[in-house]
Amino acid sequence: MKNIVITGGTSGIGAAVVSRILERKHQVYILDISKPQEKRATFIPCNMGSRESIDTAIAGLPATIDALINIAGVSGTKPGEIVIAVNFLGLRHLAQALFTRLGGGCVVNVASTAGRDWSLRETEVRSLLDTQDFASGIEWIANNKAVWQENPYKFSKQCAAAYTYRAVKLAMAHSVRVNCVNPGIVGTQLSTDFKNMLGSEKYDWVVAQIGREGRPDDIAQVIEYLSIGECQWLNGVEIVVDGGYTAGIIDGWIKPPA
Count CB atoms within 10 A of the CB of residue 124.
Answer: 17
Extended strands (E) in 86-212: 106-110, 177-183
- Given a contact cutoff of 8 angstroms between Cβ atoms, the answer to whether 104 and 175 are in contact is yes
Q: How many CB atoms lie within 10 A of CB 89?
A: 29
- Give the 3-state secondary structure of 37-75: CCCCCEEEECCCCCHHHHHHHHCCCCCCCCEEEECCCCC
Sheet holding 177-183, edge to edge: 42-45, 27-32, 3-7, 67-70, 106-110, 177-183, 238-241
Q: Which residues are the active-site residues? A: 153
* Cα-to-chain-centroid distance, residue 98: 16
